[in-house]
Amino acid sequence: MNNPAIMSTKAKAHIAIVGAGLSGLRCADVLLQHDFQVSIFEGRDRIGGRVHQTQLSNGHWIDMGPNWIHGTTGNVMLDLAMETGTSVGDIDEVSCAFDETGVRLDAAESVKYETIMWDIIEEAFGYSEMSGAEIDPNKSLMDFFREKVPLKIQDDEPDAEKKREMVYQLCETWGAFIGSPVTKQSLKFFWLEECIDDENLFCAGTYRKVLQRIAKPVLEKAELSLNSVVESINYDKAGGKKVTLSLGDGKMHEFDDVVVTTPLGWLQKNKNKAFSPPLPTALTAAIDAISYGCLEKVYISFPVAFWRAKEGQPEIAKGFIQWVSPNYHPELNSARWPQEAVELSSLGDDDSHPTLLFYTYGEQSKWFTAELAKRPGNREKAEFIINYFKPYYSRLPNYAANSAACTPVDCVATEWLNDDLAGNGSYGNFQVGLENGDDHIQTMRDGLPDQGLWFAGEHTAPYVALGTSTGAYWSGEAIGERILEKYEMK
């Protein structure tokens, strides 16, 4: 039987949530189910945060944020996808990789190099988890590759050095998984990048219906304020005061507790000016210690998937495509950034479309988004995007320069690095020099409950879901449950 005193206390509790992404929406749902009053303040004119979709000219929806469901064992995102009829699945792959001169590798050779890379990735996860305390904080994932590749390709193998270099170049594409170069990826805390068990599934139907499902109960019950940017949070509760939010329009609102779900990058930029009193040193150190990534995405659509096999031919380009360390694009890629893409024509019948999804990260993303910012018009942006990526897609099978089938009809690029509300980046990661990564995550996860200040988001998720949509959802759920416990103990 419910305790009337507890129910009364709950009914009086008014919780503010800063941000209407997955973590904020899930936290709100948990609280609303237990009769809390919830107000959500979202700086954008929409919900979802980085979980955002747009529509191509071919009618297909595309994800501007997460594309994947990382792991299937007990993954709530997979459950929600199934519940909403959202198509997901493995990316069927026919190896397609190009060397530094732009020549496509023999399929068997490419598979050999990819297998070496993934075997070493698995070894790195195990080594990091078992021996992390002994690993030099300045040791990178690439350092580990350089130790292990010679053991896989030994000196007595023909062209051993050339083959090793090809593996190293292929390993650089791992940066698309973490939003930063492997030369900066911490080996000591690489175990924090390992996700839920089993395969990674591509969200072929996009996260659109999943977002709608998560948001539905919240939109029905919570007070949602869009275009409401929170400028500062005063959490000095001395003398029975409440937590006060100050908005960009000059208005102030008081609450019993506040849950901050803003991205890690936003916290890093605003930690000193947005909170009063200043956050404790341990918390600001934790916020600064975890790195913020630069993963961006570019979609380029064509009239048809010209790179796929013609009738009666074996499949020649399907799934992931890599262009390693290109030396043939000096005008716009003198740094020889590697390039990776997923071709979307091999998705299920209802979701497939003739589109290439390119990933960029690190310095490439910084340069690319800076160039996009110089071009305010859509036509200017499209021209730049096509000029940049043409040296890559023009090397795909069946390409013909004067063919209408090989001429892009649409292109869309993310610009999270130019987005202040996104914290000018995307996804937390763990870079060299980090000494207490798991402790810092826990510090942010703990928050300041006695002062009514909580933090949620993919950067405070369970270790197996850091940097993922699943992690964002779980983090909001965890804070909601902890707030329940806090008020039920009164």
For the chain, the three-class secondary structure string (H helix, E strand, C coil) is CCCHHHHHHHHHCEEEEECCCHHHHHHHHHHHCCCCEEEEECCCCCCCCCCCEEECCCCCEEECCCCEEECCCCCHHHHHHHHCCCCCECCCCECEEECCCCCECCHHHHHHHHHHHHHHHHHHHHHHHHHHHHCCCCCEHHHHHHHHHHHHCCCCCCCHHHHHHHHHHHHHHHHHHHCCCCCCEECCCHHHHCCCCCCEEECCCCCHHHHHHHHHHHHHHCEEECCCCEEEEECCCHHHCCEEEEECCCCEEEECEEEECCCHHHHHHHCCCCEECCCCHHHHHHHHHCEECECEEEEEECCCCCCCCCCCCCCCCECEEEECCCCCCCCCCCCCCCEEEEEHHHCCCCCCCCEEEEEECHHHHHHHHHHHHCCCCHHHHHHHHHHHHHHHHCCCCCCCCCCHHHCCCEEEECCHHHCHHHCCCECEECECCCCCHHHHHHHHHHCEHHHCEEECCHHHCCHHHCCCHHHHHHHHHHHHHHHHHHHHCC
Locate 405 and state its tokens. 């089938």
Burial bucket for residue 436 (CB in 10 Å: 0-12, 13-18, 19+): middle
Burial bucket for residue 333 (CB in 10 Å: 0-12, 13-18, 19+): buried
Let me know: does 454 contact 258? Beta carbons within 8 Å.
yes
pLDDT at 1: 39
How many CB atoms neighbour CB 432 within 10 A? 20
Locate 234 and state its tokens. 């005063």
- Give the HSE-up count for residue 322: Cα atoms under 13 Å, Cβ half-sphere: 25
pLDDT at 4: 41
Can you give the pLDDT of all 490 residues of the chain as single tens digits? Answer: 344 444 445 456 999 999 999 999 999 999 999 999 999 999 999 999 999 999 999 999 999 999 999 999 999 999 999 999 999 988 877 789 999 999 999 989 999 999 999 999 999 999 999 999 999 999 999 999 999 999 999 999 999 999 999 999 999 999 998 899 999 999 999 999 998 888 899 999 999 999 999 999 999 999 999 999 999 999 998 888 999 999 999 999 999 999 999 999 999 999 999 999 999 999 999 999 999 999 999 999 999 999 998 877 777 778 899 999 999 999 999 999 999 999 999 998 899 999 999 999 999 999 999 999 999 899 999 999 999 999 999 999 999 999 999 999 999 999 999 999 999 999 999 999 999 999 999 999 999 999 999 999 999 999 999 999 999 999 999 999 999 999 984 3
Q: Of 208, 209, 206, 211, which is closest to residue 20 (Cα–Cα)?
A: 211
Q: Kindly report the length of the chain.
A: 490
Residue 185, beta-bridge partner list: 431
Let me know: does 484 contact 34? Beta carbons within 8 Å.
yes
- Give the HSE-up count for residue 300: Cα atoms under 13 Å, Cβ half-sphere: 23
Let me know: does 203 contact 67? Beta carbons within 8 Å.
yes
pLDDT at 5: 42
- The residues near 396 (Cβ < 8 Å, ≥ 6 apart) are 96, 306, 307, 317, 321
pLDDT at 349: 84
Q: Of 353, 472, 429, 480, which is closest to residue 66 (Cα–Cα)?
A: 472
- The residues near 346 (Cβ < 8 Å, ≥ 6 apart) are 91, 92, 308, 318, 319, 352
Locate 15 and state its tokens. 């919780």
pLDDT at 372: 97
Classify the C-alpha dihedral 337-204-473-211 as positive or negative.
positive
Classify the C-alpha dihedral 471-477-480-484 as positive or negative.
negative
Q: Of 358, 333, 355, which is closest to residue 408 (Cα–Cα)?
A: 355
Q: What is the pLDDT of residues 398-410, one digit of tens each?
A: 999 999 999 999 9
Burial bucket for residue 388 (CB in 10 Å: 0-12, 13-18, 19+): buried
pLDDT at 8: 41
Return d(Cα 223, Cα 116) in angstroms, integer.
52
Q: What is the pLDDT of residues 89-148, one digit of tens each?
A: 888 777 899 999 999 999 899 999 999 999 999 999 999 999 999 999 999 999 999 999
Q: Of 124, 146, 99, which is closest to residue 339 (Cα–Cα)?
A: 99
Strands 223-225 and 37-41: what pairing?
A: parallel
**pLDDT, averaged across the chain:** 94
Distances (CA, A) of 353 to 69, 238, 313: 20, 58, 20
